[in-house]
A and B are shown apart, each in its own frame.
Chain A
Amino acid sequence: MSTILDAIADLRAGRRSPVDVAKSALTTGVAIGLLLILLFPVYWIVTVALSRGTTLSSPGSLFGDPATYTLDSFRWVLENESFRRGLLNSLIVVTVTVTVTLAFSIPGAYALSRREFFGRRKLLYGYILFTQVGAGLSIAVLIALYALFSGIGLTNNLLVLGLFYAAGAIPFNTWLLKTFMDNIPVSYEEAAIVDGASQWQVMREVILPLAKPGIAAVLVFAWTAGWNEFIVAQTLIHDPDLYPLSVELYGLIGDRRGTSWPQFAAFALLFALPVAIIYFLAQKQVESGLSFGGMEG
């Protein structure tokens, strides 16, 4: 807004020529236009969720009729039995994933960051290799694991599912946390030791509090991994009572005739919202985790 007012003031005072202002307006317009095209799917799914009884086979407006927008579909989802069950299952899986991830990656990251031990460099290098691939390997090994698990009765188990997600992301999370701990000055630990703290106290009183932002980032990654994952869940869970939300959502789209589009859209949005909210609250940490802080320039 202030940009526009400044531009008008500059024009009046003759500091900028009309052509110059027009150029800026045009470029900004192009950028906004591109943005609108890119964000069309998001806008569309929101309007579908708000509209009544739109189906994809009706020639009406693509965005329904704004006069009849309603929250009925969201209410339907929140009262829906399969949504509630799916939510509970998803929360169980996510809890397991987050707990296991933190329990296993914090000590590992501390050791890799602060200790010298046999094979440390090799292990770190191996972990870094595995940070760059996740989903694909999971699906490749899923074939073997599915056969084994169904043989020994470990399918249909939400704990196993959560453990699987945590295990697959250990290299990434350990390494992310390790790079974070590398930036904590050793002098804090030295000071604590001079004051007579034990090893255990140093970890608990010095490292953990200082590594909080890094731990938060790992928590976000673990949480979203457990919440978002679909194909492993669909393979290892056969009992509809144990479906997490992602599998329920897929079921809605697979069942063409029975799905009312507004209900599907509302379900999808309610599934995606927690992730989007967490993501944008923790955007700084997430971005540092994505670019690994390693690609500056």
Chain B
Amino acid sequence: MSVDTPEGVGNRIRRLLPSRATDIGVVLVLPGLVLFSLFMLFPIAFLVYLSITDVSRAGDVIGIFQGEASIVWFANYLELFTDGEFWNSIGVTWLYVGVSLGLKLVLTLVIAILLTHDRVAGKRYMRTLVIVPMGFPPIFVITIWRAIFSPAKFGPFNRLVSAYNDVVIGLTELVDTIAFFLALRAPELLLVDVPVNWTGGRWAAFFGYVVTETWLAYPFMVIIVVSALQDVPMELHDAAKVDGAGYLNRLRHVTIPAIKGPLVFASILTAATSFQNFLIPWVFNKGGPGRSNELLLVYGYREARVFNEYAMSSAIMVVAIGFIGLFMWLAVKKTNLADGV
């Protein structure tokens, strides 16, 4: 037991407190970084390399290390950019991102405005319930939606379509009985052919993807927007009311500006996620019918695993990683995630 002089204590604190000590920090960070590099950064570099070789089967990839592959430089990319299937996949992917984002934004705004509205009783319970989809594993949610969109005649969604048809026919008959001299028949345009083949029809399947994606992703957006709406001071609304602003005006000038930032943030993140979606098309019908609905990652994956074109698949994946990189950059630039680094 030695009693420290005041200076001794001071020195010891200076020695131990976070300082320019480079050693221990690096030692602590390195294991995680190495593990991440092994499973992520190295494979990315390896993909880039594969994409300029001519390997085709998985078994040949390992042969690269024995120098069995030849470098073909950008031949794969040239072939890719002149391939209609590739452009179709890019187009479908962006269409999927755009359509589902639009749907998510509308749904999110409706839900968020309702669940922060003065006139809605029991808001707190509803907020808990509305984000329930988030608590489920994606594979569970997607298999369920796959069942809902069953092509069978009595699949849940096909029943809904039949019910809709009955309503249209019923309405026309009603009008017909009132105005009997018109001899109306239900307009073919408004009726849907039942059963809809949700897995075998191109746009029917695409519709199924978008609905599923929306249901998977809206809770995340609702959480962010609701918390932003709760931060809008009531004084603002009151002031607007005093100035004679109606509900729509207040929505435009008070509510929307207050949630614009969070909405952009949520949109970027959800767009990035849906761009990288793989499971929905895969579980529904493997991006079918044929190869018409393959989102980019599904397209690349099948190119390798089903068609044994590893070099081509790597080129596709490199393109996908490029897009993902853009999203990463956008997410960090447009939000304050990286502030204070």
0 or 1 for each of A22-41: is its CB under 8 Å from B? (1 = yes): 01100110111011001101
Cβ-based interface call for A296 (8 A): yes
Q: CB within 8 A of B272: which of A57, A110, A133, A163?
A: A133
Q: CB within 8 A of B278: which of A4, A139, A150?
A: A139
Q: Which residues of A contact B301 (CB under 8 A)?
A: 139, 142-143, 231
Judging by beta carbons under 8 Å apart, are B324 and A116 in contact?
no
Judging by beta carbons under 8 Å apart, are A295 and B335 in contact?
yes
Judging by beta carbons under 8 Å apart, are A140 and B324 in contact?
yes
Closest chain B residue, CB of each to CB of A45: B144
In the complex, chain B residues 327-341 whose Cβ is within 8 Å of any chain A Cβ: 327-329, 331-332, 335-339, 341
Judging by beta carbons under 8 Å apart, are B339 and A272 in contact?
no
Shortest CB distance B152–A (Å): 4
Judging by beta carbons under 8 Å apart, are A167 and B35 in contact?
yes
Judging by beta carbons under 8 Å apart, are B39 and A116 in contact?
no
Cβ-based interface call for A8 (8 A): no
Judging by beta carbons under 8 Å apart, are B20 and A166 in contact?
no
Interface segment, one of B77-85, B135-143, B173-181, B182-190: B135-143
Interface segment, one of B55-63, B200-208, B248-256: B55-63
Judging by beta carbons under 8 Å apart, are A272 and B137 in contact?
yes
Contacts between chains A and B (CB distance < 8 A), count = 314
Q: CB within 8 A of B29: which of A123, A146, A199?
A: A123
Q: CB within 8 A of B262: which of A58, A110, A193, A295?
A: A295
Cβ-based interface call for B269 (8 A): yes
Q: Which residues of B contact A185 (CB under 8 A)?
A: none
Q: CB within 8 A of A246: which of B26, B139, B141, B324?
A: B139
Cβ-based interface call for B234 (8 A): no
Q: Which residues of A contact B146 (CB under 8 A)?
A: 253
0 or 1 for each of B307-341: is its CB under 8 Å from A? (1 = yes): 00010011001001100100111011001111101
Shortest CB distance B93–A (Å): 11
In the complex, chain A residues 31-60 whose Cβ is within 8 Å of any chain B Cβ: 31-32, 34-35, 38-39, 41-42, 44-45, 56-59
Q: How large is the interface on B (under 10, 10 to 19, 20 to 34, 35 or more residues)?
A: 35 or more
User: In the docked arrangement, what's the CA distance between A41 and B96, Å?
Assistant: 22
Judging by beta carbons under 8 Å apart, are A295 and B16 in contact?
no
Judging by beta carbons under 8 Å apart, are B33 and A268 in contact?
no
Judging by beta carbons under 8 Å apart, are B283 and A148 in contact?
no
Cβ-based interface call for A297 (8 A): yes
Judging by beta carbons under 8 Å apart, are A108 and B121 in contact?
no
Q: CB within 8 A of A152: which of B44, B62, B148, B305?
A: B62
Shortest CB distance A285–B (Å): 13
User: In the docked arrangement, what's the CA distance between A111 and B23, Å?
Assistant: 10
Judging by beta carbons under 8 Å apart, are A151 and B61 in contact?
yes
Name B's interface SS.
helix
Q: Which residues of A contact B135 (CB under 8 A)?
A: 275-276, 279-280
0 or 1 for each of A3-30: is its CB under 8 Å from B? (1 = yes): 1100000000000000000011001101
Cβ-based interface call for B13 (8 A): yes
Judging by beta carbons under 8 Å apart, are B39 and A128 in contact?
no
Cβ-based interface call for B71 (8 A): no
User: In the docked arrangement, what's the CA distance between A56 and B31, Å?
Assistant: 51
Shortest CB distance A256–B (Å): 9
Judging by beta carbons under 8 Å apart, are B36 and A231 in contact?
no
Question: B residues near A, CB below 8 A?
Answer: 9, 12-13, 16-29, 31-33, 35-36, 38-40, 43-44, 46-47, 50, 58-59, 61-62, 110-111, 114-115, 117, 119-123, 126, 129-130, 132-141, 143-148, 150, 152-156, 159, 215, 220, 223-224, 227-228, 231, 258, 261-262, 265, 269, 272-273, 275-276, 278-279, 282-283, 297, 300-301, 304-305, 310, 313-314, 317, 320-321, 324, 327-329, 331-332, 335-339, 341
- Given pairs A123-B33, A139-B301, A146-B305, 5 additional interface contacts (CB within 8 A): A27-B117, A31-B115, A116-B25, A167-B39, A171-B36
Q: List 19 A-B contacts (CB under 8 A).
A: A27-B119, A34-B114, A38-B111, A38-B130, A42-B133, A56-B156, A57-B152, A115-B21, A117-B25, A133-B276, A136-B278, A141-B317, A142-B301, A143-B300, A194-B9, A246-B137, A271-B140, A276-B132, A297-B258
Question: A residues near B, CB below 8 A?
Answer: 3-4, 23-24, 27-28, 30-32, 34-35, 38-39, 41-42, 44-45, 56-59, 62, 100, 103-105, 107-108, 110-112, 114-118, 120-121, 123-125, 128-133, 135-137, 139-148, 150-152, 163-164, 166-168, 170-171, 174, 186, 189-190, 193-194, 198-199, 202, 224, 227-228, 230-231, 235, 246, 249-250, 252-253, 261, 264, 268, 271-272, 275-276, 279-280, 287, 290-292, 294-297
